[in-house]
Structure 1
Amino acid sequence: MRSPLGFVVCLLVAAVAAVSTAGGRVLVVLDDLADRNGYSMMLGDLEARGFDLSYETPRSESVRLSRLGERTYDHILFLPVKVKGLGPNMTPKMLIEFVKAGGNMVVALASTTPAPSSLVSVLAEFEVTLPVERTGLVVDHFNYDTLSAAQKHDVLVLDAPSKAPVGLTDLFVMPGTVLAFPRTSGHLLGQSPLLTPLVRAPFTAYSYNPKEQAEGIDPDDFFGAGQQLSLVTAIQARNSARIVVVGSAEMLQDKWIEAKVAHVDRTPVKSGNREFAKRLTGWAFQEIGVLRVNSIEHHLKGSKEMNPGIYRIKNDVSFTISMSEYSWDKWVPFKVPDNDDLQMEFTMLSPFVRLNLRKKKTTKTATIFGRDFQLPDQHGIFNFRVNYKRELLTYVDEKRTVSVRHIAHDEWPRSYDISAAWPWLSGIWTTVVGWLMFIALWLFSMPMGRGGSRRHGRG
């Protein structure tokens, strides 16, 4: 008989395991362990969502990102540190290997503290460029907080994204919400398709180094301005590991996470930094925007045999795929973003067929998409492939391999089923009937004798 205590423990373990699809172990790297008190609200929200937080400094010798080939942490949260390097246990190579192993990171920068060289090198691998001094201050003389930065204009007050870009999910859409970016550092983005800028600087903002460029900015040393500068960037590697770069670590502090701010010519309102921080960490730690393929089925139209290994050219085939999306603590039906399509390809070396899948059915936890189509007039080895790779969603690339054969000798249609053959068949049967009639006439028609009487043979 099973113990009730064991049953309760199993439920607790299942609840904890469900916090994130990538695991719940978080390493928080900060300059001093006492610094976590300044981020108590954000860190408390992470713990309330079931994450197990471990706090370490770069000077700690006990930090190990992996052991015996397995990750010791699932996620890393980097807060500003004053040291130039992160120590021998968090070198750029080790951090890249951590990402390759499926680990996720949140990198919070600051304009008052240069970023560690290890993080600068890691971000450069993803075409994220920081200033040469590894820090910089973004100011805006038109979009600042009149309550705290009336003179310096170094606290930016920006509207949160009010609508998702065309074809993208709305995970970070927060209409009517204001975000505060105190003393933020900007970064430039390359052309990598793995980058998604979540918040860009306004057109009137610019970046400079307060220590070296207080009197003026040399054009040769100018880093960036306007929408060249990204303040918050999401990075998703090809293995769906995630990195979030936040230009202002202060926006995550208790002082600012729910502070009242006032944009120029507006009344004071509470910032939405707390909700924004929740969505940032939720996305980075794979609590949202995670897709799962539950099943893929294909069969001859009208047949009950599922997933046969071989088809015939020009067969009518039905294809279905069941997909779910993880949303905080449960799997929900996946909804394709507006102005986007989920497609299926029937491909050999290149697609022979590419079709938009249609929603056929929705269950409590999944959406079933499908499409009926005719196989191409080409034999060989083919793949049913769903290659769905979109920003802010984990990548889906599923294949099912089948063989497609020629029509067998006894499967060709009979001549009388082909309308174009009817004239030829008519000619054949006309010839046969005419020949039979000729034979009949020749056999049953006697020749005429002399005098006009018929001959009946010799006496």
Structure 2
Amino acid sequence: MFSSAIARFVALATILVFASAAINSKSPVLVAYDANLVTDLEVLEKAFQLDSNHYEINYVDYSKKEESLFENGEPRFDHVIFMPSSKKLVDAKSLVEKHKLLEFFNLGGNIIAVGSAEYSVPEEVRSFLNQAGIHPAPRGYAVSDHFDTEVTVGDKNLASKRILSQVKDLKYEGTAALISNSQLLFPLVKAPRRSFTSSPKDKVLSGEKTWTVGEQGFLAVAFQGLNNARGAWVGSLDLVSDELVSWVLQERGVLKLQFAQHYKQDEPGVTNRTLYRIKDSVYYTVGVSELKDGAWVPYAPSSEDDVLQLSFKMLDPYQRLNMTLLGPAASKEDGANDMNVFYVEFQIPDHHGMFTYELDYKREGLSFIEDKKVVTVRHLANDEYKRSWEITNAWMYMVSAALVVIAWFVFVANFLYLGVPKTAPKKNVSEKETKQKQQRNRIPAP
């Protein structure tokens, strides 16, 4: 009986552990709102349509002072949604303080900010958006049309289809924002060409009282940090869509680098070596997966502009090459194919030094992939250079040198052995002539 009780206890503990793990696996989401503006939370539930099976949704009023983004230095939530507030400064300062928001974003948190025609997000949230390069219109500024009483928005206002594929036709009642030229900003919906953003209270328009004019303004903007944390700002709750929410909450457009390796063409078994030789033929391969419907699948670039590129660089890239799709593969042994393998073959340049294999893949709407591997490239050793007889251009000089040596031996042999020197015959000199010559030599000079 005692053993059966222990078995039941172990089974119950196991069930509780798995249940706790299932509960904790939900991603916590904070929705901060103003109770004076939102009287029915079903409006927010309908707008964002968050699945309660995957998300733990927490609704917090801006008036709650005790609420905070962090607990013991760790973020309490994975995602935060800020609704408009009737006040510039709210009581829940720990939720909206710009430095806390920046820290939350740097730790990988995702943020959505929603504006409106009459109200705006708290001032601290606006300051955070300004740091990201988004400058929403002041509180009370709305988008209007020069020639129409209604501002209509549809697919024609899409600035890019990489994140949003469509915008439903609607009567727009919201605000607009100016954006910087940061490459981390992704304009989604641009303002109509004939529109402007100003306060309805101003009967006479001027440059000082107008925030945006025409397509200079944007109604929805997304951004992504280098750490792949995401954010978005929309000028009206009507522009919130499933596509936008799923992208910001990292449900789609997420890439994963499964592996990256390089090796010599003639030594494929030795990967990620740190020393190469000039003019070596090498391969660089990577495996990339994409998150779709909660599962990792092989990633396939949608166009030629999205092709992966490898840079082999010292200070500047010596080579920048497009990678070729090799085919699908499995990241785990005996597993299903969950990645595509890309490769590139090239020859290391004739220059020794410290080089870097760099994969820097940044495309709008996709999480960024980066991989850097530093290697040393050496010059040829003394015994690795080609010999003279292996270089065809050197044959002429080798033959010339051989002919010079042969000609020298022929000359020496001819000089020593083949030629007989001719000697002049000796003349007979008489004794009388000899005496006369001796006498002339004795006569002193006058």
**TM-score, normalisation: structure 1:** 0.78
Matches within 5 A, 1:76-225: 76-86=80-90, 87-89=92-94, 90-132=96-138, 134-140=139-145, 152-153=149-150, 156-159=152-155, 165=160, 170-174=162-166, 178-180=168-170, 182-210=172-200, 212-213=201-202, 215-225=203-213
Q: CA deviation at 1:356?
A: 1.4
Judged with a 3 Å threshold, the aligned counterparts in structure 2 of structure 1 residues 12 and 66 are, in CA distance, closer, same or farther, namely closer
Q: CA deviation at 1:238?
A: 2.6
Q: Which residue among 229, 239, 249 is the counterpart of 2:237?
A: 249
Deviations 1:74-118 (A, max 9, x none): 110112222322432121221122112211101111112233111
Q: CA deviation at 1:194?
A: 1.8
Corresponding letter in the other structure for 1:241: A
1:36 aligns with 2:41: yes
| Alpha-carbon distance in 1 for matches of 2:39, 2:221 | 28
Deviations 1:423-445 (A, max 9, x none): 12223333455566778889998
Judged with a 3 Å threshold, the aligned counterparts in structure 2 of structure 1 residues 402 and 244 are, in CA distance, closer, same or farther, namely same
Name the Cα RMSD after superposition: 3.3
| Alpha-carbon distance in 1 for matches of 2:318, 2:12 | 57
Matches within 5 A, 1:247-326: 247-252=235-240, 277-304=241-268, 305-326=270-291
Instruction: Name whichever of 382-391 and 60-69 sits farther off.
Output: 60-69
Deviations 1:356-410 (A, max 9, x none): 1121223332121111111111111111001122222222221011111111111
Judged with a 3 Å threshold, the aligned counterparts in structure 2 of structure 1 residues 173 and 435 are, in CA distance, closer, same or farther, namely same
Corresponding letter in the other structure for 1:153: E
Q: CA deviation at 1:179?
A: 3.6
Q: Which has the larger radius of gyration?
A: 2
Q: CA deviation at 1:6?
A: 4.7
| Alpha-carbon distance in 2 for matches of 1:292, 1:8 | 32
Residue in 2 aligned with 1:25? 28
| Alpha-carbon distance in 1 for matches of 2:66, 2:365 | 34
**SS at the partner of 1:178?**
coil
Note if contact 2:113-2:121 (Cα within 8 Å) is conserved in structure 1. no
**TM-score, normalisation: structure 2:** 0.80
| Alpha-carbon distance in 1 for matches of 2:173, 2:84 | 13
Matches within 5 A, 1:390-409: 390-409=363-382
Residue in 2 aligned with 1:149? none
1:374 aligns with 2:338: no
Residue in 1 aligned with 2:78? 74
| Alpha-carbon distance in 1 for matches of 2:217, 2:245 | 21
Judged with a 3 Å threshold, the aligned counterparts in structure 2 of structure 1 residues 49 and 278 are, in CA distance, closer, same or farther, namely farther
Instruction: Name whichever of 102-111 and 356-365 sits farther off.
Output: 356-365
Higher relative contact order (CA 8 A, sep 6+): 1
Residue in 2 aligned with 1:271? none
**SS at the partner of 1:325?**
strand
Q: CA deviation at 1:206?
A: 2.1
Residue in 1 aligned with 2:395? 422
Note if contact 1:16-1:50 (Cα within 8 Å) is conserved in structure 2. no
Residue in 1 aligned with 2:4? none
Corresponding letter in the other structure for 1:338: S
Corresponding letter in the other structure for 2:280: N
Note if contact 1:282-1:328 (Cα within 8 Å) is conserved in structure 2. no
| Alpha-carbon distance in 1 for matches of 2:54, 2:141 | 35
| Alpha-carbon distance in 2 for matches of 1:368, 1:14 | 33
| Alpha-carbon distance in 2 for matches of 1:380, 1:11 | 56
Instruction: Name whichever of 398-407 and 123-132 sits farther off.
Output: 123-132
Residue in 2 aligned with 1:255? none
Residue in 1 aligned with 2:298? 333
1:53 aligns with 2:49: no
Note if contact 1:160-1:178 (Cα within 8 Å) is conserved in structure 2. no
Corresponding letter in the other structure for 1:196: F
Q: CA deviation at 1:447?
A: 8.2
Judged with a 3 Å threshold, the aligned counterparts in structure 2 of structure 1 residues 3 and 131 are, in CA distance, closer, same or farther, namely same
Matches within 5 A, 1:342-381: 342-363=308-329, 364-381=337-354
| Ranges in structure 1 where 5+ consecutive residues have no aligned partner | 18-22, 144-151, 253-276, 449-459
**SS at the partner of 1:97?**
helix
Aligned length in residues: 402
Residue in 1 aligned with 2:441? none
Note if contact 1:25-1:74 (Cα within 8 Å) is conserved in structure 2. yes
Note if contact 2:82-2:121 (Cα within 8 Å) is conserved in structure 1. no
Deviations 1:21-51 (A, max 9, x none): xx821111111275312123244x3124611
Residue in 1 aligned with 2:436? none
Instruction: Indicate the percent of aligned positions where both proteins have the same amino acid.
Output: 29
| Alpha-carbon distance in 2 for matches of 1:420, 1:204 | 72
